[in-house]
Each structure stands twice: as structure tokens, then as C-alpha cells.
Structure 1
Amino acid sequence: MISALVFADDRAVGYDDLETARRAVGTTWVHVADATDQEIDAVAAAFGIHPLTIEDVQTGVRAKTEEYADYTFVHLKSVRLTPGETTFEKEVATSPLGIFVGRDWVVTLSLGPAKPIQRVMDAAERGDERLLNRGPDFTAYRVIDVIVDAYFDLLDEVETDIEEIEEEVTVSTDIETLEKINDVRRDLLSFRKQVWPAREAVGILARGDPPQIQAETEKYFRDVYDHLVQIADLTETYRDLMSGARDIYLNTLSQSTNEVMKVLTVVATIFIPLTFVVGVYGMNFADSAYNMPELGWTFAYPATMLGMVLMILVMLLHFHRREYL
């Protein structure tokens, strides 16, 4: 879907025809959401956009900023968390976004819905003074800003998952806890691959390298750059937290295994002397040359059982004092 606005005389006017919007006096903003091949070709032809930049958006290459003769091309990716195969699994979904900044025009090209960008365009239609008559580079800044704000939203969701995991990891050795940890680590790694290139791309704009970026707009791009630096730092911090949570989980699992082994060792230790006693008196030598006189004793059986019970009690008392139990 193609939407076209022209900022002029402190108001935004919508246009249905691309050529008319391109020739109109003022700053022209064309936004294409859920772009089809026909819409992409029409916009590229109207604004003289190079096919290679269109291909970059369609193939979803890493974020970057490139300068061309008549415009500056910025490629970013919007991100969001989507449900995975299991109830607790989430995946980082990305949607490529191309921003083309010309002398008096800006084109935003998205292969997905791009609702945050649509909100900016709706604000412009309502007469947002922060957009009107401030140039195409400022419009590009507002678009990039809402994309970066969505990065913070994703980190907020991840932070909630991290808090739940930190509560579980010290009390649970369930395999699902480890799967949650690994899932968050994968999400953070995937997100990191989007943030670092985006920081480099915005850094070029913050320095004012492209001729389409006005000096008074550079400070706004520097603000976005600072946000991306903060996001990158938070991503690394959360990855460290998940590494620590995994270590705690493994230590808890090892401790639980040690407790089980301790109990099994105590039980085995108790039964070793009992097995010895039973084995000795299981040798039936009553009719042999080497007679066992206690076999003929009337109280031999209850005495043996009482002796074994006493052995058990003595060993349990010993293990209790050593805090093995």
C-alpha cells in the first residue's frame, strides 16, 4: 500500500498519484507498507532509486547506510518477538526497511506492515509540528527513532523473561528452565546481530556525512545513536545474566545430583555390614566338621536380627552427627 504526503505551508496534503506528489512544492514523503513488486517498481521509477538498493531491501541484508548521487540510502530492520514452537519459546522476527532521503523527498519502503511508521505518518497528517517543514532528513530521523524505540520494547519483554528465569533457576532443576535460558540466549544473539550494524548505519548519519543531512538534524541522529549504544550494552548485559543463570542452573543440578548420591551412598553403606552378617550365617555348617555352635542356639535368629537393627541405628546416628542426613 502506497501513501504519499507533501509538507508545505505548515500542513500535510495527501496525494494519490506518485508523479504529482513528486513534483509538488514542499517535502514529499512516500511510505510503502507490505510492498508488492509493482509498487516497488513504481516508486523506484518515480524517484530514480537504484535497483541495487531495492534489492538490498528485498533480500534483507545487514543494516547499512550508503550515499548515492541524488539520495542517501539507509537500511534497517524492525524487530519483534513472535511465539515459537513451544508455549514459552519466542523468536526474534525481523522486517527489512529501506529509507531513501533525497533533497526534498523521503521514501520509506517496508516489506511488512510497519505499524510504528504508519503512526508517524498519521501524526504528520494531523499536523505534527515536529515534522512539517523540517526537511526530509528530519522525517527520516522520526522513522528511525520509532524503529529504535521498538528495540527497547523487545528488550523489555526479554527482561521480563529473565526475571522469571532468575526466580526459577535457584529452586528448579526442570529441563524446561534450561530450555528457557537457551531460548533467551538465542533471542539475544539474534537481536545483537541487528543492533550492531544498525548502530554503525546511524553513526554515519549522526556524523552528518551524507549531504542530505542538515547540520541541525545531526543532533537528533546522535540521540538515536546513543540509544543504540545503550541497547547494545543492555543486550550484552542480558547475555551475561543468562550465562550466569545457566551456570547457576548447572550448579543447582549438580548439587541435587550430589544429594541423591549422598543418600544412595548412606543406604549402600548401611547394607554392607548387614549383607556380611547375612552372608556369614547363610553358610550352613551345622552338620560339617567345622560346626557353627551358634546355629543351634535357641535365640540365635532374634539375636542376629537385633544385632543388625542396632548396627543400623548406630550408623544412622553416626551419619546424622556428620550431617550426611
Structure 2
Amino acid sequence: MGYTKRVRYKNHKRHINAGARPGSIIIPHDALPSKITIYSFNQDDLQVSKGEDMQTITRQIAKCTDHTHWIRVNGLGDARLMEDIGTFLSINQLVLEDIVNTHQRPKFDEYDGYVFGTSRIIYFNNETELVNCQFSGIVKDNIIISFEESYVDYFEAIIVRLKAGKGNIRTAGPGYIFYTLIDTILDNYFVLLSQIGDLIDQIEDKLYQSPDKSIMFDAQQLKRTLIIVRRACWPERDKINDMIRSESPEITKETKLFLRDAYDHCIQAMDMVESYKEVTSSIIDLYLSMVSNRMNEIMKVLTIISAIFIPLTFIAGVYGMNFSREDTHGHVIKDNMPELYVQHGYVYALICMLAIAVIQIFIFWKKGWFSKL
């Protein structure tokens, strides 16, 4: 059986700017350059364009006036682009600050003419690192604009559906696209939890077959991973509930029906997280219990060995004192060891010691001590 891979957590430090003006757009030094992809679509047509500046957005929107536009921004390293988007769509500066400050908890906010939401994208990358990054989305009129920290094609399935043009993905509006993005994030939580479940199974198999201290470390790492997923799932549930209760025209009644299904998925993910957390805690407790029992067994063996050798050591110690029976003039010394000059005394002593050991072993065996080792 293979060993579980060590879970690593991708370094993603929080950048704190104490005293900064509210609404300040401060780009982290490790942010990736922004890349823009625009999907403009209606029931009969899909237009795709790519670029890196605001002109890419304005040209596409001006060209496709009767389309719904999904503006996808990958990388948050361009402060000028963020400001231009805010000006073009009349977005509050506090929203732009939340987009570039990528340690937001999942939430849903309503503003005059648009809605804003964030989620956490969590997955294992190819190097078995746990990636925890932010997704942000703004829905306004016939536009949805999404922001992602990396270039990873996390929403490939949605793009495939857009290109196929089946169902109502092209006709249900930007609010529905926002729902599909959230639903994809939730679906990938289940993928992540499935991978965690497989790792837990490997740890359990190792626990029963060849336990060692790495089990405790691996289980603790998975427990930490589950805590991260839990911190994303709980506020995500509240966020979806806020969307269902929203009276914003950007979130239509038809979209709310699908959001109820996403709400159920979020509850299921939360239940799985709690179940796996209990299993990992049980694995740690069971391993510690096995170590304790093993230690008790070792101590029992040592106790039996000590109990056998204590009387033997006593006899050897008594006759090891070697007090002479006679002095240097041949006179018998009173109360000194009379057995010192007994013929075959050494053999008799060994036989006595062996008999005592055999009797003790027989008594221990009758009491069932050896069967419990």
C-alpha cells in the first residue's frame, strides 16, 4: 500500500495596510498581471475576445449590443484596470478594494443597480498543494464580471456549455451565469472532499496494517485542510441564502430556483466536512490509544521478566556476599555462610534458581498473563 502524500499549503500571505484610506486599491506584490477574456452571447451567437486593457471590454460591448457579456479577469495585478472597470460600471470603491484584498470571506452585497459576491476557490494543484484563492463577481444589467487570482481554467465546464449553446445558459441572463460559477465552485468542493476521503482511507489502512507516527501527522494535516474547507462552506451557505432572499432584479426568480439546489449542495458539503473531521479526530485518538496499549504490553512483558528475575537476583546477591566460613587460622566463624564449602553448591544454587523461575512462569501462565500479551 502506498503512503499518503504530504499536504502542503500554498504560501498566500495576507497583506495588511494599516491606516490606509477605505476604498484604496492596493495590489499585492505577488499578484499576477491581469488578462481579460470576454464571452458575449445570446441565443444564436457567441463572440469571444481577449486582451489586457479596458479597450478590450469597451470594444466588445459596443460591438455586441444585444448580447449578454461575461467579462472574465484572471490576475489582479493591474490597479489601473480595476479603477477603469470601477469607473465604467460605476462600482463603489469599497467593492474594488474587496476584490483586490483576496482574503474576504464568502458574502453577497446589494448596491444600487448591481450586486456583488465573493467565494473561495479551494483545490489541490498538481504539486499536491492546497490552493485557497478568492473568486469575486459583479452582476449589473446585461454584464457579469468575474475576478480570479490565477490563470487556472477553473470554469472550463461552463465555457463548454456556452460554446454548445444548449439549455438556458445563454438566455437566462448574467444572474444565472453568476449562479453557475458559484455552483461550479461548490461542485469542486465535492471533488476536493472526495480526494480527502481517499487520503483518509489510506491513513486508516496504514493504521491497521503498519501504524507509525506519520499517521498522526497526516491525519492532523487533513484535519487542518477540512477546517479551511469548513471556513469556506459556512459563509457560502449564508451567502447563497442571502441571494435567495434578495429582491434585486439581477437575481431573477428562475435563478433563485437553481440557487436553492446550490444551497442544498452547500449543506451536503458541510455535512461531509464535519463527518471527515470526526473521522480524522478518531484516527488520531485511535493511534494514540494503540500506542498506549502497546506501551502497556511492553511494560507487562518487562514486569513479568522483572518478577522472574527478582528472586533469582536476591539469591545471587546473598551468595555473592562471599562471607568466609573459616578464618585464616582454620577456625570456624560463627554465623557465617555454612553453604560456602558444600559440595556441588554452585549446581544446587542454579537448580534452585531454575526451579523458582519455572514455578513463577507456571503461575503466570495459569493466570493467563501470557495469552494477553
TM over 0.5: yes
RMSD: 1.9
Map 1:131-210 to 2 at 5 A: 131-210=169-248
Tell me the equivalent position of 2:45.
11
Is structure 2 residue 66 aligned with structure 1 residue 40?
no
Q: CA deviation at 1:323?
A: 2.3
Does the CA contact (< 8 Å) of 2:223 and 2:280 recur in 1? yes
Correspondence for 2:356 among 306, 311, 314: 311
Name the CA distance, whole Å, in 1 between partners of 2:234 and 2:147. Answer: 21
Does the CA contact (< 8 Å) of 1:170 and 1:249 recur in 2? no
Does the CA contact (< 8 Å) of 2:137 and 2:145 recur in 1? yes
Name the CA distance, whole Å, in 2 between partners of 1:180 and 1:54. Answer: 39
Q: CA deviation at 1:193?
A: 0.7
Correspondence for 1:80 among 123, 141, 151: 123
Does the CA contact (< 8 Å) of 1:71 and 1:103 recur in 2? yes
> 2:75 is paired with a residue of what secondary structure?
coil
Is structure 2 residue 100 aligned with structure 1 residue 53?
no
Indicate the structure with greater helix content: 1
Q: CA deviation at 1:149?
A: 0.8
Q: Which amino acid aligns with 2:115?
A: T
Tell me the equivalent position of 2:106.
63
Is structure 2 residue 65 aligned with structure 1 residue 20?
no
Name the CA distance, whole Å, in 2 between partners of 1:230 and 1:315. Answer: 61
Name the CA distance, whole Å, in 2 between partners of 1:268 and 1:83. Answer: 55
Map 1:203-218 to 2 at 5 A: 203-218=241-256
Q: CA deviation at 1:152?
A: 0.5
Is structure 2 residue 361 aligned with structure 1 residue 320?
no
Identity of aligned residues (%): 28
Name the CA distance, whole Å, in 2 between partners of 1:36 and 1:182. Answer: 35
Q: CA deviation at 1:236?
A: 0.6
Q: Which amino acid aligns with 2:229?
A: F
Name the CA distance, whole Å, in 2 between partners of 1:99 and 1:20. Answer: 21
TM-score (normalised: structure 1): 0.92
Is structure 2 residue 305 aligned with structure 1 residue 271?
no
Q: Which runs of 5+ in 1 are unaligned?
A: 85-89
Deviations 1:101-148 (A, max 9, x none): 112111111111241224423431343443112111111111111111
Q: CA deviation at 1:40?
A: 3.0
Does the CA contact (< 8 Å) of 2:76 and 2:100 recur in 1? no
Tell me the equivalent position of 1:295.
340
Does the CA contact (< 8 Å) of 1:208 and 1:214 recur in 2? no
Tell me the equivalent position of 1:245.
283
Q: Which amino acid aligns with 1:187?
A: T
Deviations 1:19-47 (A, max 9, x none): 13334222111111123314433433332
Q: Which runs of 5+ in 2 are unaligned?
A: 1-34, 51-55, 327-332
Does the CA contact (< 8 Å) of 2:42 and 2:67 recur in 1? yes
Name the CA distance, whole Å, in 2 between partners of 1:47 and 1:246. Answer: 52
> 1:246 is paired with a residue of what secondary structure?
helix
TM-score (normalised: structure 2): 0.81
Name the CA distance, whole Å, in 2 between partners of 1:248 and 1:83. Answer: 31
| Paired residues, number | 320
